[in-house]
Amino acid sequence: MKIGIVGAGLGGLLAGALLSKNHEVVVFEKLPFLGGRFTNLEYDGFQLTTGALHMIPHGNDGYLAQALRKAGANVKIINSEPDGTFLINGKEYLYKELFSLVSFKEKAKALKLATKLKLGKVDKNISFGEFLEDVDLALKVGNAFTGWALSLTAYETPMSEIIEIAKNYHKFGGPGIPIGGCKSVIDELSRIIKNNNGKIIKEYEVKSIEIDEKAYIDDYEFDIVISNISPVETQKICNIKFLKSKPKPSKGIKISIATKEGIIKHGGVLFTPECERINGLNQVTNVDKSLAPDGWHLVMTHQTQLTNNIKKEIDLGLEDIENLFKGKDYKILHIQSYRDDWPVNHASNGTDIDNIVNDKLYLVGDGAKGRGGIEVEGIAMGVLKVVDYINSLNIKNG
């Protein structure tokens, strides 16, 4: 089949790499570079990112890693050890150590909550914040996690989504860092598409998608169209309407920091539940020194954007950074905000759109993530669903 893909972000390229083995694939990208918000941005010797955090939520064992191996991508992912720590009163704690920080009465409540979550025996119709609110520290920790992983507060995160996230964590474990950063993934996917005789057309903005007896991207005719430009933007240029309501995006701010001394000893996430805005940070150069010049570390913080006053939100994040570094030498390299037409996720977790519109039109990317899929893991889940469905169509028609 002839398959046209709109958008060369992670979702579009991953779908293209998997499908180009057995199909004729053309990818259209309006920007002069590939990868969207999942690639590297070189600055002053540092490999910054266009959006992501040089981190894959379930490391070398999750959905993205599995999809990359299935595509034949040669990407090395180093699993973090530990997955993460929590900074409380100036000291780092592992998750299991947090229970020692609360009173006997609250400890019993917290252990009960943790057991309920692990077993999935909770009310799926409440928010994560409502689930945690009886234990103050638990709510702070929950906000740090959802802010870092989903760019949502705990009260904005559906409990049904948290249950699926917990299942995936127990199945695959925590995060990992791709050697070479995000761009190593993008370079491999684009190489595979080209090696399979697929085409990638950059600096081409698609004006229309038309679904009829055939599928059209502008004047190009295809059997199938896959869109990676968000469900809302897809519907704007498409002749069919498939959205019952506009999905709710999530907003966030990322700050990249250079430091010689470093601030984290491990390659996982340092969650910061006591910060005013910052939810967590990582120091990827503990794993891959090539992401910064010799003698330097690259630290990246992330925070949920809680108000529409973006300057105030950034200033509060910078104040948190000053408090976290406590007089250590550091410099701010880059501040990125993800909102409006470039949110963290075009659909926040729990509001994602189904990947399959009909037999000729499919959606991938961070507006069509799989249930319980954190960031790029959710994108990979959606891509795998689309690829399996298209291949099943091919078998039926074959």
CATH number at residue 100: 3.90.660.50
Summarize the confidence of residues 25-44 as an average pLDDT.
98
Say whether pLDDT at 98 is over 90: yes
Say whether pLDDT at 398 is over 60: no
Asked if residue 243 and residue 259 are part of one domain, the reply reads no
283 pairs with which residues across the strands? 299
Contact indicator for 315, 276 with CB cutoff of 8 Å? no
Euclidean distance between CA atoms 352 and 370, whole angstroms:
8
Structural domain ending residue among the three candidates 172, 196, 227: 172
Asked if residue 183 and residue 165 are part of one domain, the reply reads no
pTM of the predicted protein model: 0.97
Summarize the confidence of residues 154-178 as an average pLDDT.
97
Asked if residue 71 and residue 88 are part of one domain, the reply reads no
Residue 45's pLDDT band (cuts 50, 70, 90) = very high
Structural domain ending residue among the three candidates 115, 137, 172: 172
Residue listed under structure tokens 């059209």: 216
Say whether pLDDT at 227 is over 80: yes
Give kind and range of the element (H or E) at residue 6. Answer: strand 2-6
Q: What is the CB neighbour count within 10 angstroms for residue 31?
A: 15
Summarize the confidence of residues 17-42 as an average pLDDT.
98
What is the predicted pLDDT for the residue at 327? 87
Asked if residue 122 and residue 60 are part of one domain, the reply reads no
Residue 198's pLDDT band (cuts 50, 70, 90) = very high
Residue listed under structure tokens 């990322």: 254
> Which CATH number fits the domain that encloses residue 208?
3.50.50.60
Give kind and range of the element (H or E) at residue 210. Answer: strand 209-211
Asked if residue 328 and residue 186 are part of one domain, the reply reads no
Residue 28's pLDDT band (cuts 50, 70, 90) = very high
Summarize the confidence of residues 52-64 as an average pLDDT.
98
3-state secondary structure of 371: coil
Mean pLDDT of the chain: 96
Say whether pLDDT at 248 is over 70: yes
What is the predicted pLDDT for the residue at 1? 95
Residue listed under structure tokens 């490391």: 59
Q: Is 239 left (phi over 0), alpha (psi -120 to 50) or beta?
A: alpha
Q: What is the CB neighbour count within 10 angstroms for residue 373?
A: 25
Name the residue with higher pLDDT: 116 or 281.
281
Residue type at position 204: Y
Asked if residue 376 and residue 242 are part of one domain, the reply reads yes
Asked if residue 329 and residue 353 are part of one domain, the reply reads no
Summarize the confidence of residues 146-154 as an average pLDDT.
98
Asked if residue 62 and residue 27 are part of one domain, the reply reads yes
Which residue, among 63, 101, 68, has the nearest Cα to 369 in the 3D structure? 63
Residue type at position 398: G
Residue 396's pLDDT band (cuts 50, 70, 90) = low
Asked if residue 152 and residue 74 are part of one domain, the reply reads no
Say whether pLDDT at 323 is over 60: yes
Q: In this structure, what token pair is assigned to residue 8?
A: 């060369």
Summarize the confidence of residues 240-268 as an average pLDDT.
96
- Domains in the chain: how many in total? 3
Residue type at position 200: I
Residues making up the chain, counted from first to last: 398
Summarize the confidence of residues 157-171 as an average pLDDT.
96
Look at 39-43, 191-195, 337-341 and tell me which has the smallest mean pLDDT.
337-341
127 to 123, 132, 141, 157: CA distances (angstroms): 9, 9, 15, 6
Say whether pLDDT at 395 is over 80: no
Summarize the confidence of residues 351-369 as an average pLDDT.
97
Helix and strand element counts for the chain (H, E): 10, 19
Residues 254, 256, 259, CA angle at the centre, nearest 5°?
Answer: 150
Asked if residue 138 and residue 112 are part of one domain, the reply reads yes
What is the predicted pLDDT for the residue at 119? 85
Which residue, among 375, 154, 376, 145, has the nearest Cα to 270 in the 3D structure? 145
Residue 393's pLDDT band (cuts 50, 70, 90) = confident
Say whether pLDDT at 308 is over 90: yes
Q: Which domain holds residue 140?
A: 84-172
Summarize the confidence of residues 89-103 as an average pLDDT.
95
Asked if residue 185 and residue 167 are part of one domain, the reply reads no
Asked if residue 384 and residue 356 are part of one domain, the reply reads yes
Structural domain ending residue among the three candidates 172, 192, 221: 172
Reported in sequence order, the residue ranges of 239-296 that DSSP labels E, i.e. its strands, are 252-259, 269-271, 280-283
Euclidean distance between CA atoms 350 and 300, whole angstroms:
26
Euclidean distance between CA atoms 214 and 224, whole angstroms:
8
Say whether pLDDT at 397 is over 70: no
Give kind and range of the element (H or E) at residue 383. Answer: helix 376-397
